Amino acid sequence: MDNNLNAFFAALSDPTRRAVIERLTQGPAPVSELHGGHDMALPSFLKHLGKLEAAGLVRSEKTGRVRTVHLEAAPLAAAEHWLHRQHRLWERRLDRLTALAETLEKESDHARFQDPDA
Amino acid sequence: MDNNLNAFFAALSDPTRRAVIERLTQGPAPVSELHGGHDMALPSFLKHLGKLEAAGLVRSEKTGRVRTVHLEAAPLAAAEHWLHRQHRLWERRLDRLTALAETLEKESDHARFQDPDA
DNA sequence: CTGTTACTTATCCATATGGATAACAATCTG
DNA sequence: CAGATTGTTATCCATATGGATAAGTAACAG
């Protein structure tokens, strides 16, 4: 699960591949359609699809001479989950810091009240 | 905002860098502490920190001879947001398909009712 | 002011990545 | 069957990436 994050994030670090993912949220599509609009030779484009599939973000089946590609939901959810977790831990920590700061501020007020000319 | 996603995801595609992020959710740390535990020469490790900082995931300040590194929340949130959006679009599409399937099923039942031996 | 600590900078190296072209294979279509 | 479609495989190439070592700078500590 953790090892996959390497391939997941690497796959998403390329704009061509993110565009493919975005397109696929509209539904499955054959390779040639996905390729259309990307200014790039087909074999080069196929390597991108290969990485997406290797990362498990996408799956494909071939029928006749057409290969149809579709999104795979689970990995998106997994990566999202990792990010969310880190984000949450970080925000929680900020909250604790804020709370601490407020505590210190109150104590500081109190001290000033007891010893105004400090 | 979109251009940053390249660097964001690329930064997260390496386990050393993800480990740094995870460590930093516990709070800021000096370079040497972050480096400890990673079996890697300091300059190599510094390149990882450099990428994290270039991606905006992390910031650092130097005081005396110590550089302290801390997490930057916003980019995590941005990447998380992109993933969430794609995930949502994809799930919404699955829902539409499910609905369509159910509709077809009902129509099919209806047809069978009118023409039971089909 | 000498030594130690904590980075920094400069190179170097092997492999990975993103791109291209050329040639091949396997369907359809007429 | 002949030809066009739709991928696929095999190379090749330039640059990026992840690692290393060596040497340098900038604070402290004594």
Where do the domains of chain A lie?
Answer: 2-72
The stretch B93-101 carries a mean pLDDT of 78
Angstrom distances, CA of residue B42 to CA of B10, B28, B38, B53: 21, 18, 9, 16
d(CA A31, CA A59): 12
Burial class for A109, CB neighbours closer than 10 Å (0-12, 13-18, 19+): exposed
Q: Which residues from the 72-111 window of protein chain B have CB within 7 angstroms of nucleic acid chain C?
A: none
Strands B58-63 and B29-30: unpaired
Closest CA to A52 of A80, A76, A82: A76
- The pLDDT of residue A1 is above 50: no
Which CATH fold topology does B2-72 show?
Arc Repressor Mutant, subunit A (1.10.10)
Burial class for B61, CB neighbours closer than 10 Å (0-12, 13-18, 19+): exposed
- The pLDDT of residue A117 is above 60: no
As a whole number, the mean pLDDT across chain B is 85
d(CA B52, CA B31): 13
Instruction: Find out whether B59 and B69 touch, Cβ atoms under 8 Å.
Output: yes
Q: Which residue has the higher pLDDT, A85 or B73?
A: A85
Contacts of B99 (CB under 8 A, 6+ apart): none
- The pLDDT of residue B104 is above 70: no
- Confidence class for position B111, pLDDT limits 50, 70, 90: very low
- Confidence class for position A115, pLDDT limits 50, 70, 90: very low
Distance from chain centroid for Cα A88: 15
Q: Which pLDDT score is estimated for B112?
A: 42
- The pLDDT of residue A56 is above 90: yes
- The pLDDT of residue B6 is above 70: yes
- Compute the C-alpha angle B56/A1/B3, nearest 5°: 25
Q: Is the CB of A15 under 7 A from strand C?
A: no
Q: Where on strand D do bases come within 7 A of a protein Cβ?
A: 5-11, 17-23, 26-28
Bridge partners (DSSP) listed for residue A15: none
Q: Please report, to the nearest 10 degrees, the dihedral formed by the alpha carbons of residues B95, B96, B102, B106 taken in order.
A: 160
Q: Where on strand C do bases come within 7 A of a protein Cβ?
A: 5-11, 17-22, 25-28
| pLDDT tens profile B19-76 | 999 999 999 999 999 999 999 999 999 999 999 999 999 999 999 999 999 999 888 8
| pLDDT tens profile A18-32 | 999 999 999 999 999
Check B77 against A87: CB less than 8 A apart: yes
